[in-house]
Amino acid sequence: MSLENAVKDIISQKLEDGTVETAVSAEFEKMVNAAMNQVFRSYGDVAKIVEEKIKQVMVPYLEKYDYSKYIVKLDGVLTEILNKTAVPHTELLENFKELMIPTERKSIIVTELFAEWKKYIVDGMSTDNLEIDYNDGVSYCPANISFTFEEDADREWSDFKYGKIFFECEQDEAMNVQINTLRDKHSRDKGWDFGTTADASIRSLRYLNQFEILLLKLQQNGAKLILDTTNGEDEAYSTQEPEASFG
């Protein structure tokens, strides 16, 4: 049996027989504090060759595996661990569960992505620069939001085109997002690949917001961004309610 098939068989067996839960429970706390780049260090070049060969098989195989059925079990294991540590890791746990459930999407149009960003900012944007409307009760006036796609200058020697999408909120720049994109010049597919600077490492998983998680899931699934238009505008109403002041 080849090394590749042996690795696949072992992975499948361990995913099915409950080893995942046991391993996560026993090793999670140690894993977050340990640097994995020390693996095989003392075995020299031979270990590097074996490690690289295993990576070539394991990474594509694990990326395609459906982990959704393990979410409930992993949730229980992680909850138990986090309760024992007495540290507020609620956001980390929720974000971990979201990233573990793969998206089925193979493409998304930019106006739909803009709408998803709008859903995120209405709960989080600052109201400091929003005016208050007293005409029909008391509520905040909407924020002005927009998006723009800009293609980078073309380089003849490069096989790729690069671009950027800017999602901007006029009243709260902290909500602004830049999404890097690229596509192969020679591809018949006119969609753009996602690039994002969101960090999905264990250290920062706690701090990812829902829109960053969406971008990561789309990127990991190789989803294409379709430009049905290169710019647009809208209004976003904050979900917060102001205190009336008639002084």
Bridge partners (DSSP) of residue 180 are 164, 195
Asked if 110 contacts 226 with a C-beta cutoff of 8 angstroms, the reply is yes
Averaged pLDDT for residues 96-105:
69
Distance CA 232, CA 147 (A): 5
- In tens, the pLDDT along 62-91 reads 666 655 555 555 555 655 655 555 455 667
pLDDT computed for residue 38 by the predictor: 53
Asked if 159 contacts 186 with a C-beta cutoff of 8 angstroms, the reply is yes
Which of the four pLDDT bands, split at 50, 70 and 90, describes residue 35?
A: very low
pLDDT computed for residue 233 by the predictor: 96
* Amino acid identity for residue 36 in this structure: M
Asked if 238 contacts 130 with a C-beta cutoff of 8 angstroms, the reply is yes
Asked if 147 contacts 232 with a C-beta cutoff of 8 angstroms, the reply is yes
What pTM was estimated for this model as a whole? Answer: 0.61
